[in-house]
């Protein structure tokens, strides 16, 4: 936060901080934890809302009621569909002497960027695709704080799907198990995640994770995560067993149907492990392109080799993303086999998703 803003602006000083972050993964949670540490350092009252895109209307009408509040939004993008709602909520809060800081790494249309920058009280907007949101939050708010450095590193490991840090993997599963559990019981996701968030904000990873026993300190949470992992493995094996393969333009394309409670990231990691594949079928190889079809008709794209561009493949299904991971939409369906045939036909029509290098 640029300190000069304290001295040369005419608005009242903020007294509290409202953090709005993504509830879906470790990046959103770690970003909120770093924001909380910033609030502690500045002596600001703190409140967090962890949310997802479907709930923006409630969130921004809550934001509209804020006074003298520093509103920091992290790991959430904005596009034309929600721009009016966002503008209305933020403008209201700003007329009540609030300020806005938005830190993100998703794709933003120019119109959304211009809207945020045109708000009053000198808004701060940082959007950078090369980092995860927690890394940006760390750099902007708490660059010299060691706990925040660790939180940003964990988020990077999960968001870029590196999966090199055991505790980061475990935390990813903990977020999923807590989140899916709350959604099932129709409980508030923020309330459900608050205890973990508070510990991360207090002490970083060591607040929740015991590195000597390789377990969560909370025994119940550890049991839930272990159970979730077993169930998840069963579901993923079953999903992989029902796979549908085809060679297209010399690339092995595989489609799997994923049940609820599984993410395409889970599936992508699982299905790129050759040992797991061989245990299902000795002939089964890692696919060059893996498509995960969810029951709602959403498509996740992950690649098993560099010769494929997931973003270009996803574009053929009204989606987009990165070369290594992307998302798109097929639409509601009944017959999985018919969907596979249809997808294979679409992918055969273009070579855009094949990388020359
Ligand atoms: Mn993120």
Residue 47 backbone dihedrals phi, psi, to 5 degrees: -145, 140
How wide is the angle at C-alpha 209 spanned by C-alphas 231 and 77, nearest 5°?
75
Question: Residue 258 class from Cβ within 10 Å (0-12 exposed, 13-18 middle, 19+ buried)?
Answer: buried
How wide is the angle at C-alpha 236 spanned by C-alphas 230 and 242, nearest 5°?
145
* Per-residue pLDDT at 262: 85
What is the Å distance from ligand 1's center to 112 Cα?
18
Whether residue 133 is found in the same domain as residue 83: yes
Residue with tokens 């390789």: 214
Q: Which of 188, 217, 246 is the last residue of a domain?
A: 217
Q: Which of 172, 187, 217 is the last residue of a domain?
A: 217
What is the Å distance from ligand 1's center to 156 Cα?
9
Nearest in space to 291 (alpha carbons), one of 348, 339, 232, 335:
339
What is the Å distance from ligand 1's center to 328 Cα?
17
**CATH number of the domain to which 79 belongs:** 3.90.1640
Query: How far apart, in whole angstroms, are the C-alpha atoms of residue 227 and residue 162?
Result: 23
- 114-152 CB burial, b ≥16 within 10 A, e <16: ebbeebebbbbbbbeeebbbbbbbbbbbbeebebbbbbb
Whether residue 158 is found in the same domain as residue 290: no
What is the Å distance from ligand 1's center to 31 Cα?
9
In a domain, 354, yes or no: no
What is the Å distance from ligand 1's center to 22 Cα?
8
Whether residue 241 is found in the same domain as residue 132: no
What is the Å distance from ligand 1's center to 124 Cα?
19
What is the Å distance from ligand 1's center to 28 Cα?
6
What is the Å distance from ligand 1's center to 119 Cα?
24
In a domain, 130, yes or no: yes
What number of CA atoms fall less than 13 Å from residue 52's CA on the CB side? 9
* Per-residue pLDDT at 160: 83
How wide is the angle at C-alpha 295 spanned by C-alphas 105 and 181, nearest 5°?
70
* Per-residue pLDDT at 4: 44
In a domain, 199, yes or no: yes
Whether residue 141 is found in the same domain as residue 241: no
Query: How far apart, in whole angstroms, are the C-alpha atoms of residue 32 and residue 142?
Result: 12
Whether residue 212 is found in the same domain as residue 243: no
289-294 and 209-210 strand pairing: unpaired
What number of CA atoms fall less than 13 Å from residue 117's CA on the CB side? 10
What is the Å distance from ligand 1's center to 151 Cα?
13
Residue 275 backbone dihedrals phi, psi, to 5 degrees: -65, -40
* Per-residue pLDDT at 350: 97
What is the Å distance from ligand 1's center to 187 Cα?
23
Q: Which of 217, 249, 275 is the last residue of a domain?
A: 217
> 1 is written with which tokens?
């936060």
What is the Å distance from ligand 1's center to 51 Cα?
13
**CATH number of the domain to which 275 belongs:** 3.10.310.30
Whether residue 143 is found in the same domain as residue 82: yes
CB 137 within 8 A of CB 131: no
Whether residue 333 is found in the same domain as residue 196: no
Query: How far apart, in whole angstroms, are the C-alpha atoms of residue 210 and residue 205?
Result: 9
CB 341 within 8 A of CB 324: no
Contacts of residue 101, Cβ cutoff 8 Å, sequence gap at least 6? 1, 70, 71, 72, 73, 123, 124, 125, 140
* Per-residue pLDDT at 263: 84
Question: Residue 296 class from Cβ within 10 Å (0-12 exposed, 13-18 middle, 19+ buried)?
Answer: exposed
In a domain, 5, yes or no: no
Whether residue 87 is found in the same domain as residue 195: yes
Positions in the chain whose pLDDT score sits under 50: 2-9
Q: Model-level pTM? A: 0.81
What is the Å distance from ligand 1's center to 217 Cα?
25
What is the Å distance from ligand 1's center to 140 Cα?
16
CB 216 within 8 A of CB 208: yes
Whether residue 74 is found in the same domain as residue 182: yes
Provide the domain count of the chain: 2
Contacts of residue 147, Cβ cutoff 8 Å, sequence gap at least 6? 37, 203, 204
In a domain, 356, yes or no: no
* Per-residue pLDDT at 357: 65
What is the Å distance from ligand 1's center to 126 Cα?
14
**Residue 354 β-bridge partners:** 308
What is the Å distance from ligand 1's center to 68 Cα?
28
In a domain, 2, yes or no: no
What is the Å distance from ligand 1's center to 101 Cα?
16
Whether residue 202 is found in the same domain as residue 255: no
Query: How far apart, in whole angstroms, are the C-alpha atoms of residue 350 and residue 289?
Result: 15
What is the Å distance from ligand 1's center to 67 Cα?
28
What is the Å distance from ligand 1's center to 245 Cα?
31
Whether residue 104 is found in the same domain as residue 246: no
In a domain, 79, yes or no: yes
- Could you list the residue range(s) of the whole structural domain that residue 197 is in? 10-217
Contacts of residue 164, Cβ cutoff 8 Å, sequence gap at least 6? 157
What is the Å distance from ligand 1's center to 247 Cα?
33
In a domain, 223, yes or no: no
What is the Å distance from ligand 1's center to 11 Cα?
32
CA distances from 216 to 200, 291, 319, 344 (A): 12, 32, 36, 43
What is the Å distance from ligand 1's center to 242 Cα?
30
* Per-residue pLDDT at 3: 45
What is the Å distance from ligand 1's center to 77 Cα?
9
Whether residue 140 is found in the same domain as residue 200: yes
What is the Å distance from ligand 1's center to 130 Cα?
11
């Amino acid at each position: 936060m640029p300190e000069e803003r304290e001295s040369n602006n005419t608005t009242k000083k903020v007294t509290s901080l409202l953090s709005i972050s993504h509830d879906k993964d470790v990046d959103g949670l770690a970003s909120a934890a770093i924001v909380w540490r910033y609030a502690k350092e500045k002596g600001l009252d703190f409140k967090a809302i962890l949310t997802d895109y479907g709930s923006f209307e409630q969130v921004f009408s809550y934001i509209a009621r804020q006074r003298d509040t520093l509103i920091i939004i992290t790991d959430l993008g904005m596009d034309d569909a929600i721009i009016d709602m966002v503008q209305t909520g933020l403008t209201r809060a700003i007329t009540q002497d609030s300020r806005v800081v938005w830190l993100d790494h998703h794709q933003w249309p120019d119109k959304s960027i211009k809207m945020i920058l045109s708000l009053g009280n000198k808004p701060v907007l940082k959007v950078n695709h090369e980092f995860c949101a927690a890394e940006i939050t760390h750099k902007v708010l708490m660059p010299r704080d060691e706990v925040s450095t660790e939180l940003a590193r964990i988020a990077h490991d999960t968001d870029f799907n590196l999966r090199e840090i055991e505790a980061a993997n475990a935390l990813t599963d903990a977020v999923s198990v807590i989140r899916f559990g709350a959604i099932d019981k129709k409980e508030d996701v923020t309330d459900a995640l608050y205890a973990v968030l508070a510990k991360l904000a207090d002490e970083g990873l060591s607040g929740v994770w015991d590195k000597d026993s390789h377990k969560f300190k909370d025994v119940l949470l550890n049991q839930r995560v272990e159970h979730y992992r077993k169930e998840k493995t069963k579901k993923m094996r079953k999903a992989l067993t029902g796979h549908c393969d085809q060679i297209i333009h010399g690339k092995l394309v595989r489609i799997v149907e994923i049940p609820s409670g599984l993410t395409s990231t889970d599936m992508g990691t699982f299905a790129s492990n050759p040992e797991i594949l061989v245990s299902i079928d000795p002939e089964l190889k890692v696919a060059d392109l893996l498509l995960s079809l969810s029951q709602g008709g959403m498509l996740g794209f992950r690649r098993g080799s560099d010769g494929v561009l997931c973003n270009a493949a996803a574009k053929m299904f009204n989606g987009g993303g990165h070369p290594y991971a992307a998302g798109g939409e097929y639409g509601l369906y009944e017959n999985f086999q018919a969907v596979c045939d249809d997808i294979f036909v679409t992918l055969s029509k273009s070579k855009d998703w094949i990388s020359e290098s």
